[in-house]
Amino acid sequence: MNPARPARWRLPDAIGPGAAVVVLGLLSAASWGAGDFGGGLISRRAPLLGVVAVTQLVGLVAALAAVGALGEPIPSGPDLAWSLVGGAAGMVGITALYRGLAVGRMGVVAPSVGVIGAVIPVVAGFAFEGVPPAAAVAGIVTALVAVVLVTRAPGQDEGRPSGFGWAVLAGSAIGVFNISVGQLSDAATFAPLVVMRVVQAILVVVVIVSLRQPWRLDGWALGRVLIVGLLDMGGNVAFIAAAQTGALAIAAVLSSLYPVVTVVLAVSVLHEGMTRRHVAGIALTVLAIVLIGFGTAA
């Protein structure tokens, strides 16, 4: 999910790039995973589009502040086009993700979204660039097995649907988002995020107005959604910093472990049941993401 790579971030001399990329990559995963958990949980009580709108607004304000501080140019040409595509895909992805986490079992939705979002760019690369490295192919196969195990594992609350349909939609959209940001140049980091957030804001307003969907948040939800927005943006910043201070492959793999954080929170806070098959599926999810990450970087 790295939009671009400008000049490297300056680190304290006592912190080497190898250690920094690990810490920042894991911090990104923790921030994204906690944000997804919070967004899905709040959406169980508050209007989904209101939750999405506020989280994206928080990200837009933060991105605008960063662009102003760094003096980044507004994207143009292909960068603008890919930013527009990424914004639309990101809007579909985050909305479907929050919906899936709200109505389904987080232990199914989160890992499914993670592996589907990782597999789609590899499949696209296969279609346009030929057969990917063996590790990436092994990662795809592992991902398919992981999805089967996770989705077929019985849950503690059998009255709640799995949410797998929403996970497929969210993972597919996030996969397109990842493809889009992968096409961006190194001209800027936060400016493409501004374009994407603006697109998402426009789409949210269009959906709310045209379909007359509820969106107003009460005081209980608003404060919590603001925190979710900060966590989401914090994950973006941590990932960008990780990618600019060390190996991109390591940063991408570590940050992609965010579904594990969501699952851990679902188990510890919501007490979602976990069978051995479910645990095995989540473990294979992690393995698949690692294989795909290092395979595509080879």
Q: Which of 192, 212, 216, 217 is nearest to 73 (CA)?
A: 192
CB 65 within 8 A of CB 152: no
The enclosing H or E element of 87 equals helix 77-103
In angstroms, the Cα distances linking 228 to 57, 107, 213, 274 are 11, 19, 21, 25
Tokens in use for 79? 């960068």
Distance between CA atoms of residues 258 and 56, nearest Å = 19
Q: What pLDDT does residue 159 have?
A: 65
256 by Cβ neighbours in 10 Å (0-12 / 13-18 / 19+) ranks as buried
CB atoms within 10 A of CB 43: 25
What digits encode the pLDDT tens for the residues 40-59?
999 999 999 999 999 999 98
Distance between CA atoms of residues 224 and 135, nearest Å = 40
Distance between CA atoms of residues 122 and 291, nearest Å = 11
The enclosing H or E element of 34 equals helix 17-42
Distance between CA atoms of residues 290 and 254, nearest Å = 8
DSSP 184-243: --SS-SSHHHHHHHHHHHHHHHHHHHHHT------HHHHHHHHHHHHHHHHHHHHHHHHH
Its sign, for the CA torsion 40, 48, 289, 279, is positive
In tens digits, the chain (298 residues) has pLDDT values of: 334 444 444 545 445 556 788 888 889 999 999 999 999 999 999 999 999 999 999 989 999 998 999 898 889 999 999 999 999 999 999 999 999 999 999 989 999 998 898 888 888 877 777 777 888 888 888 988 888 888 776 655 556 788 999 999 999 999 899 888 878 887 777 899 899 999 999 999 999 999 999 999 999 999 999 999 999 988 888 888 887 776 666 777 788 889 989 998 998 998 887 788 888 888 998 898 888 877 766 5
Instruction: Say how many Å lie between the first and final Cα of the chain, rounded.
Output: 18
Distance between CA atoms of residues 114 and 90, nearest Å = 14
Distance between CA atoms of residues 295 and 132, nearest Å = 8
The amino acid that residue 158 corresponds to is E
Q: Which of 42, 58, 69, 38 is nearest to 188 (CA)?
A: 69
Q: What pLDDT does residue 226 have?
A: 95
Distance between CA atoms of residues 3 and 219, nearest Å = 33
Contacts of residue 272, defined as CB under 8 A and 6 or more positions apart, other chains included, come to 105, 106, 107, 155, 156, 157, 266
CB atoms within 10 A of CB 59: 24
What digits encode the pLDDT tens for the residues 75-134?
999 999 999 999 999 999 999 999 999 999 998 999 999 889 888 888 887 777 777 788
Domain boundaries of the chain, sorted by first residue = 23-297
Q: Angle 102-104-105 (CA atoms, 0-180°, nearest 5)?
A: 110
Q: What pLDDT does residue 5 have?
A: 42
